[in-house]
Amino acid sequence: MDSGAYKLQVAEAFDEAAAAYDRLVGFFTPMGRQLVERAAPTAGERVLDVGCGRGACLFPAAARVGASGRAVGIDIAPGMIEEAGKEARLLGLDQVELHVMDAERPEFADRTFDVVMGSYSIIFLPDAPAALARYARLLVPGGRMAFTSPVFVAGTFPFLPPVFTDLIPMSLLSKLPQEWRPERLQERFNSWLEDPAELAATVRGAGFTDVEVTDVPIDMVAPSGETWVEWSHTQGMRLLWQHLPADEAAALRERLIPALDAMRTDGGPLRIPTPVRFVTAVR
How far is residue 25 CA from its own chain's centroid?
14
Q: Which domain holds residue 178?
A: 3-282
How far apart CA 187 and CA 43 sit, in angstroms, is 41
Residues 229-238 have pLDDT tens digits of 999 988 778 8
Residue 250 pLDDT:
95
pLDDT greater than 60 at residue 13:
no
Using alpha carbons, list the distances in angstroms from residue 117 to 23, 28, 72, 183, 258.
Answer: 21, 14, 10, 29, 37
Beta bridge partners, 217, equal 275
In the chain, the number of structural domains is: 1
Which has the minimum average pLDDT: 8-22, 54-68, 91-105, 190-204?
Answer: 8-22
How far is residue 24 CA from its own chain's centroid?
16
Is residue 144 within a helix (H) or strand (E), and if so which, with residue range? strand 139-150
Is residue 199 within a helix (H) or strand (E), and if so which, with residue range? helix 196-205
DSSP assignment letter at 14:
H
Which has the minimum average pLDDT: 48-57, 184-193, 209-218, 274-283?
Answer: 184-193
- 158's CB contacts (< 8 A; 6+ apart) are 150, 152, 173, 182, 185, 189
User: What average pLDDT score do residues 201-211 get?
Assistant: 97
Cβ pair 218, 251 in contact under 8 A? no
Residue 150 pLDDT:
92
Residue 245 φ/ψ, nearest 5 degrees: -60, 155
Residue 43 φ/ψ, nearest 5 degrees: -55, 130
* Other CB atoms within 10 Å distance of the CB of residue 21: 21
pTM for the model stands at: 0.90
Beta bridge partners, 75, equal 100
Using alpha carbons, list the distances in angstroms from residue 158 to 153, 172, 177, 212.
Answer: 8, 12, 14, 23
Task: Tell me the chain's radius of gyration from C-alpha atoms.
Answer: 18
- 197's CB contacts (< 8 A; 6+ apart) are none
How far is residue 225 CA from its own chain's centroid?
22
Cβ pair 75, 101 in contact under 8 A? yes
For residue 85, give the CATH number of its domain: 3.40.50.150
User: What average pLDDT score do residues 191-208 get?
Assistant: 95
Residue 175 pLDDT:
78
Residue 228 φ/ψ, nearest 5 degrees: -60, -45
Q: Which letter, b or e, does each residue of 161-198 get, where b requires 16 or more Cβ atoms within 10 Å of its Cβ?
A: bebbeeebeeebbebbeeebebeebeebbbebbbebee
Beta bridge partners, 114, equal none
Residues 112-159 have pLDDT tens digits of 999 999 999 999 898 999 999 999 999 999 999 999 999 988 888 777
